[in-house]
Amino acid sequence: MADRVPANALADWLLAHGRTSVDTDEAAQLLGVPRGQVRTRLYAVAQRHELVSAARGLWIPVPAQYRTWGAPPGVQFVDDLMRHLSREYYVGWLSAAEIHGAAHQRPQAFQVAVDGRVGNRTVGRTRFDFALRAGVANLPRVRHPVPTGFVRVATRELTVLDLCDELPRAAGLSNAATVLAELAEDDQLDVHELGRVSQVFPAATGRRAGWLLDLVAPHLDTDPLADALQNRSGTPSLLRPDRPARGAVDTRWHVRMNTEVEPDL
């Protein structure tokens, strides 16, 4: 085994060796102490914000530029955290939209979809908001590079549908419309893919997405999405599901327009 690493040098040793995290078992080996003594040995180091515990048994070394924050930005260690917790995940909703360049309104929390229960937590300046999502591993994700490696992020098309599916996580319908407009800029949204992914969501989600895209991105040909939804029957979907079923019905999208939408464009 390599020479032992003093506790006060562990964070910089990890960073110098390209390490973005260490679990308690390996930390015990590096420090040359029993596992049960690791937290005590690292207490002063953690107080100086050189290391932070993101979950029980997981330690994140904090680069010097982030030590006044108490931790690196969550996007830089969420992949390590999810691997430690044995969870499939993707960064989603407004956090994914921001990564894709739709940064009109910075999300108040770092929104992550997971395939099993994970408790929300705040690490440094990042407030994690974990949402249980079935079939995470089978939904379209991309590997997005970050300084520490990569994170899994919902594709633009999945982000559109997630935002239209859970409006509170989108900060409301009007904000969702604003973000959709940005995601659809420069023809970066694949509407054929949007139609394909819409099949794993309730019909109301795809209809709401189509109606909003027609409103905020009139240049976009949304016919492939409309075609994908045409065989999904049922009563008209509500544009805003927490409001009464009033208002006219848009026949193209089978959506009851029960509220006003005011995107910030």
List, run by run, the mean pLDDT of 10-residue segments along the chain (265 residues): 85 96 97 96 97 98 97 97 98 97 84 97 98 95 96 98 97 96 93 97 97 97 96 91 96 96 92
By C-alpha distance, which of 41, 34, 29 is closest to 4? 29
Domain boundaries of the chain, sorted by first residue: 7-71, 73-154, 157-265
pLDDT at 1: 47
Distance (Å, rounded) from C-alpha 15 to C-alpha 76?
A: 13
pLDDT at 192: 98
Consecutive H or E run containing 143 = strand 141-146
Distance (Å, rounded) from C-alpha 33 to C-alpha 43?
A: 14
State how far Cα 134 lies from the chain centre. 15
List, in order, residues 6 or more apart from 180 with CB less than 8 Å away.
160, 163, 164, 209, 212, 213, 216, 217
pLDDT at 63: 97
65: exposed, middle or buried (Cβ count in 10 Å: 0-12, 13-18, 19+): exposed
| Residue 256 DSSP SS3 | strand
Distance (Å, rounded) from C-alpha 55 to C-alpha 44?
A: 18
pLDDT at 82: 98
Q: What CATH number does domain 7-71 carry, 3.20.20.80, 1.10.287.130, 1.10.460.10, 1.10.10.10?
A: 1.10.10.10
For the whole prediction, is pTM greater than 0.75? yes
